[in-house]
């Protein structure tokens, strides 16, 4: 299986195929996208496509793994290093917003959207992906639990708050960006919105 690098943006024909596949999967779904569709969009014939990738599931798995690699390196690891739960939550939200925006086009970040498209994976691969995704969920939940233990959590249910935070972040990945938004202000406003929703102070 091809492993896309988390340190450099994808370049070359193989990586072009992955990015085109991500956009098509995001727009039409995994089931609604054929290898022929991908080949046509890339500008090669279907037989040539199989020279670069073995099958559609492998394409999907590589994209999901790449998205999770980026989140692990640029969001989870830095946030885990922060001891104070409020600072950790704020950092986690801002870093994930920046992670989602990286590589986003006018209709959002296709790679991030595809991370939730696990139905096309084999059971073993799906289980692996869900376990990796749970690391991010558990980090949010444990951070909210720590805030609750300190009396700084303003709601009743940390599990529900975790789901709502993840839902908002996922919606940001699908944001249709007209023009050139002020990203720093966007990050500030969304982070403040979440913090005010879940914290007492």
Q: With respect to residue 140, please indicate whether it lies within any of the assigned structural domains.
A: yes
Counted domains in the chain: 1
Domain span at 108: 57-198
Q: Report if residue 73 sits inside a domain.
A: yes
Task: Report if residue 11 sits inside a domain.
Answer: no
CA distances from 107 to 2, 94, 101, 134 (A): 26, 20, 11, 26
CATH number at residue 97: 1.10.357.10
Residue 171 lies in a domain: yes
Give a yes or no: residue 34 inside a domain: no
Tell me, yes or no, whether 20 lies in a domain.
no
Gap between the Cα atoms of 32 and 37, Å rounded? 9
**Predicted structure pTM score:** 0.83
Task: Examine residue 187 and state whether it is found in any structural domain, yes or no.
Answer: yes
Confidence label for 98 from pLDDT (cuts 50, 70 and 90):
confident
26 found inside a domain = no
pLDDT tens-digit profile of 87-96? 999 999 999 9
Q: What percent of the chain has pLDDT over 70?
A: 88
**Angle, nearest 10°, between helix axes 85-101 and 183-198?**
140
Whether 84 shows a pLDDT value over 90: the answer reads yes
Distance CA 25, CA 54 (A): 17
């Amino acid at each position: 299986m091809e492993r896309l690098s988390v340190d450099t943006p994808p370049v070359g024909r193989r990586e072009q195929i992955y990015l085109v596949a991500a956009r098509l999967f995001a727009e039409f779904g995994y089931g609604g996208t054929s290898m022929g569709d991908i080949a046509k969009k890339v500008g090669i014939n279907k037989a040539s496509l199989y020279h670069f990738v073995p099958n559609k599931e492998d394409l999907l798995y590589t994209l999901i793994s790449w998205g999770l690699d980026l989140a692990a390196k640029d969001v989870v690891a830095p946030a885990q290093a922060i001891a104070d739960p409020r600072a950790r939550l704020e950092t986690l939200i801002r870093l994930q917003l920046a992670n989602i925006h990286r590589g986003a086009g006018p209709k959002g970040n296709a790679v991030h959207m595809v991370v939730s498209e696990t139905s096309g994976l084999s059971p073993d691969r799906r289980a692996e992906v869900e376990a990796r995704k749970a690391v991010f969920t558990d980090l949010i939940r444990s951070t909210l639990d720590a805030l609750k233990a300190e009396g700084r959590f303003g709601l009743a249910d940390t599990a529900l708050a975790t789901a709502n935070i993840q839902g908002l972040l996922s919606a940001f990945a699908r944001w249709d960006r007209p023009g050139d938004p002020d990203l720093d202000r966007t990050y500030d406003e969304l982070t403040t919105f979440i913090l005010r929703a879940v914290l007492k102070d």
